[in-house]
Amino acid sequence: MNKIILKISLVALFCIGYKSSSAQPFQPTSIPDRIILTWSADPATTQSVTWRTDSTVNQAYGQVLVESSSPKLEKPESSEFTATTSVLKGKEYASAHYHSITFTGLQPDKVYTYRVGDGKNWSEWFQFKTAPAQDKPFSFIYLGDAQNDIRSKWSRVIRRAFATHGDASFIVHAGDLINRSNNDNEWGEWHFGGGFINGMIPSIPSSGNHEYFRDEEKTLTLDPHWRAQYTLPENGPDGLKESVYYVDYANVRIISLNSQMIVLDSNSLKIQAKWLEDVLKNNPKKWTMITYHHPIYSTAKGRDNKEFRAAFKPLFDKYHVDLLMQGHDHTYSRGQNLPTGTSGKVGGPMYVVSVAGPKMYKIDVEPKWMDVFAEDTQLFQIISVNGDELNYTAYKASGEVFDSFKLVKKLKNKAAVFTDTRAKNSLKKTK
């Protein structure tokens, strides 16, 4: 009898342990977590960092200094900044405190080391590198939707991207970073997946439809985690700041649009289109890239964002936008849409749709704009800019090269010349 009771108890304990380990709560503590770099000002002379603690931490700090490889990192060698603290009430726990700092007065093209904490409980020391003051070769990572099974299946993709190019200058996230808006555990999975990468390589995130919910008044509302955990430029239109913005890095202007508001709110469509034209018209940079969630040209069956395309494609064409980084359709595709309706080795914006997470859709093989496409494949992209050349490579989660191309541009106001250098193992359109 005792043996039977013991056996039942062990099974019960196993089941309880298994259940708790598969539903990690991601509770805040007094130790800094969810440390993430973004930009809110000039990437050459500033660096913003945001992190989370529990509500017992009311005052927080950041320390930063030029990396000298010496272990003498604490004061007085480092400069100390006082954080701004905000409160975020969650469904999973009473509240958490989010702290943010923008390190200022930095030197361009330098490696810095920093840590954050409350004066007693500190994070580890992280490194970051400021942007160059002038045109200089650099690369960055572009990721499509994470969304589902983030901790389990998306994490390996961002980590493989880091392993492939650990010196990336930043990471572009094209929306749907999570699946259920205002769910702290899912944001916990997203930060868990990125881990220390988020604290070393700045993120440029765009919001997707899954970052939105309807409040009690049925108003479309951006997840409050967004502004709490990201410190982003406030150069966007009123009412959309930190979800619509741009960053200038070396010879590139990267613009983030809020396509969820574009496709669901006609007034927001007009506001963002007007703002975008001003940003494109007054753009001093040679290369222009835009990231947003809903594709201008859809790849999945039954999807078509006509109003978005009608309002924004003329701007992309007029101002010679070079690369559009999109998500939402849970497939891979890339190509150009030209007046003839097909792609080719001529100038024109390059449209890319990609997916980093495990949720997959079927491709619609009818649209003529796609040169390369794939289903059921998790990918990440490395984009390198060197003067007049832009090199793009899409990798499978395994690290295998799937697709690549090169754009060449001699003058800022001329569309790029398209040179297709796709890998032999890419899937070419056959229908």
Question: Do 163 and 266 sit in the same domain of this protein?
Answer: yes
Asked whether the whole model's pTM tops 0.85, one would answer yes
29-to-25, 53, 96 alpha-carbon distances in Å: 12, 5, 9
Query: What's the number of domains the chain is made of?
Result: 2
| Amino acid making up residue 330 | H
- Residue 18: per-residue pLDDT: 32
Tokens of 177: 């970073």
Range of the domain at 114: 33-129
Nearest residue to 289 via CA among 342, 333, 251: 251
Nearest residue to 196 via CA among 141, 242, 149, 155: 155
Read off the CATH number of the domain in which 362 is found. Answer: 3.60.21.10
| Inside any domain, residue 44 | yes
Question: Do 323 and 353 sit in the same domain of this protein?
Answer: yes
Read off the CATH number of the domain in which 74 is found. Answer: 2.60.40.380
Per-residue confidence of the chain (431 residues) as pLDDT tens digits? 444 444 434 333 333 333 333 457 799 999 999 999 999 999 999 999 999 999 999 999 999 999 999 999 987 888 999 999 999 987 777 799 999 999 999 999 999 999 999 999 999 999 999 999 989 999 999 999 999 999 999 999 999 999 999 999 999 999 999 999 999 999 999 999 999 999 999 999 999 999 999 888 888 999 999 999 999 999 999 999 999 999 999 999 999 999 999 999 999 999 999 999 999 999 999 999 999 999 998 888 778 899 999 999 999 999 999 999 999 999 999 998 765 444 455 567 999 999 999 999 998 766 677 889 999 999 999 999 999 999 999 999 999 999 999 999 877 666 566 666 654 444 444 33
Q: How far is CA 78 from the centre of its chain?
A: 30
Between CA 317 and CA 338 the distance in angstroms is 9
Between CA 109 and CA 97 the distance in angstroms is 32
Among 129, 153, 171, identify where a domain stops.
129
| Inside any domain, residue 431 | no
Nearest residue to 237 via CA among 202, 180, 278: 278
Between CA 249 and CA 131 the distance in angstroms is 7
What is the helix (H) or strand (E) element at residue 21, kind and residue range? helix 2-21
